[in-house]
Amino acid sequence: MKVLVLYDYPPSPGGLATQGDLLYKGLLEIGVSACAVHFESAQEKEWYYRWFEPNIVVGVGYWGHTPQLVLHPQRYGVQPVPWLVADGYIANYQEVLNALPLILVTSNWVKQMYVRDGIHAEKIEVLPVGCDTDSFRPHDKNDRKILAVRETLGIPPDQIMILTVGGDAASKGAQEVMQALAIIDSKAPDWKYVCKVWPQPRTRLQNLSDLEMAAHLGIEKNVTYSTHTISRIFMPYLIGACDIYAAPSRLEGFGMPQVEAGACEKPVIGIKAMGMLDTLIHSKTAFLANVAQEIVVSEVMLGNESGFEDEHKVEFKTPRTVDYRASVQDIAGYLMKLMTDPALREEMGKAAREHVVQHFDYRVVAKQFVEIIRNKFGIN
């Protein structure tokens, strides 16, 4: 079997790039002949088609990347298998996707979204995102690298550190977490809430809005926003420095940071919806807050990035849920449980590590990918 993997290569620290890179590395480690190339590099992709002659071209992205992940390899007679995430609504390329023999998606919820929006269910197989459990692993709280992370954030060893990581924090549920922290602040042990966000223009206004909320809630002295560029090398130590990983995301097709936190033996607070239903076990590896609100729209505006002209309006016959909000009261209760019970944090963290190693280690995912391809195409 020869596999060409299309993703943001060489990998940036982002989720899609990591997803592709771990599949590529996993395939190599289990003995599959594989190469990697940037999904937008038309000339280099053609070069690989011609000399490498892959049996399968697996491309990581969302439905809007169909021209790069599907149409381009088809043009050269190579079999594409897109591995897709969802972003709330699949607005285009249904005909192209339905003509494929196989589509991979990252969770059962993503599959439901694609089926809801017109993709045939029998075409879709769920392949979870891999986790590098060698890098994301537990560290002693007195490890110099862990202590150094907390020192850079101004957090003493005896202060409870709650962490959220994302391109922005609000989409990961940070505003709901802050509201919950304000409810329990007077009763909880000393705490600090750290939001690690990616430095980019689109998130600056959101960060300011989040910090304004913290000030309005009276907890701004306990909330830190870190906007520095960091690498995947640093990320395991950042997660390792926290006591609780909190991300009851508003939209989450898989939840890679939640899985990575579990690999680091950290208890997680999530939401009882979307991809987290696949990756987290309520009351064992994580606490899943109930859904308090669904954000529903009856129309969306799309553009060139989705294969339409600018300001193309799509109206839904049936309104669509595009966002979720977790119960603030649930989050508050779960935070209080974990903040006041170190033994519970340790117990849930160990269960989370075991679950991640068994189901989401990147080599396990690579083997699952190979099995799916063999069953579908008969390729050895």
CATH number at residue 31: 3.40.50.2000
DSSP secondary structure of 258-309: HHHHHHTT--EEEESSTTHHHH--BTTTEEEEPEEEEEEEEEEEE-GGGTS-
Q: Are residues 323 and 294 in contact, defined by beta-carbon separation less than 8 angstroms?
A: yes
Same domain, 203 and 345: yes
User: What pLDDT does residue 204 have?
Assistant: 81
Query: 198-254: per-residue pLDDT in tens?
Result: 887 777 888 899 999 999 999 999 999 999 888 999 999 999 999 999 999 999 999
Q: Does any domain span residue 136?
A: no
Is residue 199 domain-shared with residue 226, that is, in the same domain?
A: yes
Evaluate whether residue 155 is within a structural domain. yes
| φ and ψ at residue 310, rounded to 5 degrees | -60, 145
Same domain membership, residue 254 and residue 333: yes
Residue 48 falls inside a structural domain: yes
Does one domain contain both 232 and 269? yes
Q: Assess whether pLDDT exceeds 80 at residue 342.
A: yes
Domains contained in the chain, number: 2
Residues 218 and 350 in one domain: yes
Q: Please indicate, yes or no, if residue 301 is contained in any of the structural domains.
A: no
Residue 234 covered by a domain: yes
Whole-number Å distance between alpha carbons of 372 and 380: 11
pTM for the whole thing? 0.94
Closest CA to 262 of 107, 130, 133: 133
Q: What pLDDT does 306 receive? A: 63
pLDDT at residue 303 tops 70: no
278 falls within a domain: yes
Residue 7 main-chain phi, psi, to 5 deg: -165, -170
Strand segments (E) across the chain:
2-7, 33-38, 56-62, 80-85, 103-105, 124-126, 160-166, 191-197, 223-226, 244-246, 268-271, 286-289, 291-302, 312-326
The CA-atom distances, in angstroms, between 198 and each of 279, 323, 366 are 24, 21, 28
Q: Are residues 163 and 99 in the same domain?
A: no
**58 and 188, same structural domain?**
no
Residues 367 and 230 in one domain: no
Between strands 291-302 and 286-289, the pairing is unpaired
> Are 347 and 365 contained in the same domain?
no
State the residue range of the domain holding 192.
Answer: 144-290+327-359
